[in-house]
Amino acid sequence: MTIMRSFLGAAAALALTAGAALAEPAIIFDLGGKFDKSFNESAFTGAKRWADKTGGSFKEIEMQSEAQREQALRRLAESGSNPIVMTGFAFGNVLNEVAPDYPDTSFAIIDMVVDQPNVRSVVFSEHEGSYLVGMLAGETSKSGTVGFIGGMDIPLIRKFACGYAQGVLAVNPDAKIISNMTGTTPAAWNDPVKGSELAKAQISQGADVIYAAAGGTGVGVLQTAADEGILSIGVDSNQNHLHPGKVLTSMVKRVDNAVEKAFDDGPGFETGIVVMGVSNEGVGFAMDENNSPIVDMNAKEAADMAAEKIASGELVVHDYMADNTCPALEF
């Protein structure tokens, strides 16, 4: 203990002389796994980009169960990691309690607002990005029926669905939108088998474009869509490459940028709420060599136009979480 303490003391002294740069940043991935090809993986990409760029290293923990969150967070804070970034709304309650105990540590949380002086809350305007991919889906669909498969049934995911539905209806007012959620617990983020079943059910109802906003579950949706010969839309990370020519586009949510920025800013970064939307390239739809052959250029132009309008404030997409209602979709 005493050796440990003097070691920590020495480390602290070093950190003081060399500036705060010595403190190692850390990232916690919520349930679903680091390599979910989606939300968590996007965060990991950002952290890794920071490490490659600066040559630094970072600590990481993957959550295995709901009850571990507090221990993981405290352990990292206790060990002097700074800043600490965590992905997922579920950390909200825990962070709200832990943050005041470590006033000198900077925390960042993605997808949730935590009102503490040392916390940066990064939230995304998912409804805006979903609106844009909804427009593409509506233009591309031949059957006039499109699907949405969400992960856990929470307001955040309904926000995706609602933005998507508005986008579809904007280009095709007669379109039919089928919406399903995978489950009501965090297990719904990592259930590709169920995602696949839901996709099959939606295909049998006539859907020919399916948007999956379900973390690791979406992998199953995309796979089934590709197998059954219909199009899918990925989420969070750019998932176009998973099935080239079969994934229409991806609603990219730049969690990677948010994580990289937090690591770049380092300890003592500016706190408060950061909203990342279409206007500051926090969300958008992905275009690359994998999907450019299948995206109709007119549809893309229309979506680009809409993006500009959203950025300028001319077009307002209804946010489900603002009033827990959706004008375009029934849940």
Partner 1 sequence: MDVMPKWADVLLVPVISLILAMVISALVILGIGEDPWAALKLMVQGSFGSTYGWGYTLFYATNFIFTGLAFAVASHAAMFNIGAEGQATLGGLGVALVCLALPWPHWTLALPAAMAGGALFGAAWAFLPAWLAAKRGSHIVITTIMFNFIGAAVLNYMLVNAMRPEGSMDPASAKFPDGTNLPTLHEMLAVVGIPFAKSAPANVALLIALLACFLVWLLLWRTRFGFELRAYGKSESGAIYAGISPTKIIIVAMLISGGLSGLMAVNNVMGEAERLVLNSVEGAGFIGIAVALMGRNHPLGILISAILFGFLYQGGAELALWTTIPRELIVVIQGLVILFTGALDNMVRMPIERLFLWRRRSRQTAGE
Q: Enumerate binding residues for partner 1 (CB under 8 A).
A: 1, 4, 59, 61-62, 64-68, 70-72, 74-76, 78-79, 89-90, 92-93, 101, 154-156, 184-186
| Shortest Cβ 31–partner 1 spacing (Å) | 10
Task: Report the residue number, 75 or 176, with the smaller CB distance to partner 1.
Answer: 75
Task: Report the residue number, 146 or 188, with the smaller CB distance to partner 1.
Answer: 188
HSE-CB at 108 with a 13 A cutoff on CA atoms is 32
CA 1 to centroid of chain Cα atoms:
41
| Shortest Cβ 142–partner 1 spacing (Å) | 36
| Shortest Cβ 219–partner 1 spacing (Å) | 20
Is the four-CA dihedral 175, 176, 182, 184 of positive or negative sign?
positive
Question: In which region does residue 313 sit, left (phi positive, over 0), alpha (psi from -120 to 50) or beta (all else)?
Answer: left
| Shortest Cβ 286–partner 1 spacing (Å) | 26
Task: Report the residue number, 4 or 297, with the smaller CB distance to partner 1.
Answer: 4
| Shortest Cβ 249–partner 1 spacing (Å) | 27
Task: Report the residue number, 57 or 298, with the smaller CB distance to partner 1.
Answer: 57
The CB-based long-range contact list for 311-316 (8 Å cut-off, 24+ gap) reads 311/277, 311/278, 311/279, 312/279
What percent helix, strand, coil does the chain show, rounded to 5? 50, 20, 35
| Shortest Cβ 110–partner 1 spacing (Å) | 13
CA 323 to centroid of chain Cα atoms:
21
Task: Report the residue number, 15 or 154, with the smaller CB distance to partner 1.
Answer: 154
Give yes or no for a contact between 111 and 122, defined as CB atoms under 8 angstroms apart.
Answer: yes
List C-alpha distances in Å: 43 to 255, 283, 297, 320.
Answer: 5, 14, 31, 24
Task: Report the residue number, 28 or 171, with the smaller CB distance to partner 1.
Answer: 28
**Beta strands 209-213; 176-183: pairing state:** unpaired
| Shortest Cβ 17–partner 1 spacing (Å) | 25
Task: Report the residue number, 70 or 265, with the smaller CB distance to partner 1.
Answer: 70
